[in-house]
Amino acid sequence: MKKPILVANWKNHPESLRAVTPILTGLSRKSAVYKKLSTFIAPPLVYIEAVSSKIKSFAGLAGQDIFFAMEGTYTGAVTPDILKSFGVKLTIIGHSERRALGETNEVAAAKVKTALRSGITPLLCIGEEARDAEGNYFEFLSEELKLSLEGIRRKDDAHKLIIAYEPIWAIGKKAKDAMPPADLAQMVIFIKKVLTEIFGRESAERIPILYGGSVESGNANELVATGVQGFLVGHASLDPKNFSEIAEALL
Ligand code: PGA
């Protein structure tokens, strides 16, 4: 049985390098808990070196995004080899906040391929904007997942993927606004079904599905019991106490 996965998505926080230190100090107090999980921290890129030296013994370093090209000249870009040289092992791809800036499923698929080629684990995010009584979001999610994995069919690639289901309407709220556990359990089954259509049952079963969207210490326990193999945590990951309680819920 693989370890549960816990990924901290710091987004564009905290507001300065100085504010990173207390977070890292807080995290390291619970290093024993994080070591029992596959824990990753995805800080803003410019903080990566400061973070990596402090989390080495209990968490891996993750990117919040990956550039789609491996080589070439691109002003402003950070290519995968640079990320790798700083020890980045996993990267978030297709986060809804990037999709809102115009990132398409095609771009997400290119990034998944680039990550696989570079030996960085792709954590692909999918999630519907809203729920409707007709259940149109099922179709939306199926298409988003299939198109974001377009061209990836090899079993050994499939076995390196991680999917994060993050309904957009549940992101950045309070614990009470996260997805109800019964609905999440249904979505996990649905996502597995779509992955089975793409990769076949045996490979689909091996792909971890994480949940993200207002995971906090107050709801982590009930969300664990839905079949998810971990969490992608935004705002609560900047609060060491809250984050460590989420980690404990996964044990
Ligand atoms: P949240 O963010 O935990 O603040 O809802 C999750 C995410 O956007 O990855």
Helix H segments across the chain? 20-29, 31-35, 48-55, 80-85, 96-99, 105-118, 136-148, 155-158, 181-199, 201-206, 220-224, 240-249
pLDDT digits (tens, 9 = 90+) for 93-113: 999 999 999 999 999 999 999
Does some domain include residue 29? no
Does some domain include residue 234? yes
Give the CA radius of gyration of the chain: 17
Q: What is the CATH number of the domain that holds 131?
A: 3.20.20.70
Q: 109 C-alpha to center of ligand 1: Å?
A: 22
User: Is ligand 1 within 6 A of the CB of residue 99?
Assistant: no
Confidence (pTM): 0.98
Q: 72 C-alpha to center of ligand 1: Å?
A: 33
Helix H segments across 67-160? 80-85, 96-99, 105-118, 136-148, 155-158
User: Is ligand 1 within 6 A of the CB of residue 216?
Assistant: no
Does some domain include residue 1? no
Q: 178 C-alpha to center of ligand 1: Å?
A: 10
d(CA 207, CA 163): 7
Annotated active-site residue 13? The verdict is no
Tens of pLDDT, residue by residue, the chain (251 residues): 689 999 999 999 999 999 999 999 999 999 999 999 999 999 999 999 999 999 999 999 999 999 999 999 999 999 999 999 999 999 999 999 999 999 999 999 999 999 999 999 999 999 999 999 999 999 999 999 999 999 999 999 999 999 999 999 999 999 999 999 999 999 999 999 999 999 999 999 999 999 999 999 999 999 999 999 999 999 999 999 999 999 999 99
pLDDT digits (tens, 9 = 90+) for 151-163: 999 999 999 999 9
Does some domain include residue 160? yes
What local confidence, expressed as pLDDT, does residue 232 receive?
98
From 95, 103, 128, 144, the catalytic residue: 95
Does some domain include residue 25? no
Annotated active-site residue 166? The verdict is yes
Does some domain include residue 26? no
Domain region containing 145: 9-19+39-249
**Residue from 61, 63, 22 nearest 38 by CA:** 61
Structural domains in the chain (count):
1
Q: CA torsion, points 166, 168, 174, 175, in degrees to nearest 10?
A: -30
Does some domain include residue 137? yes
What local confidence, expressed as pLDDT, does residue 1 receive?
63
Does some domain include residue 172? yes
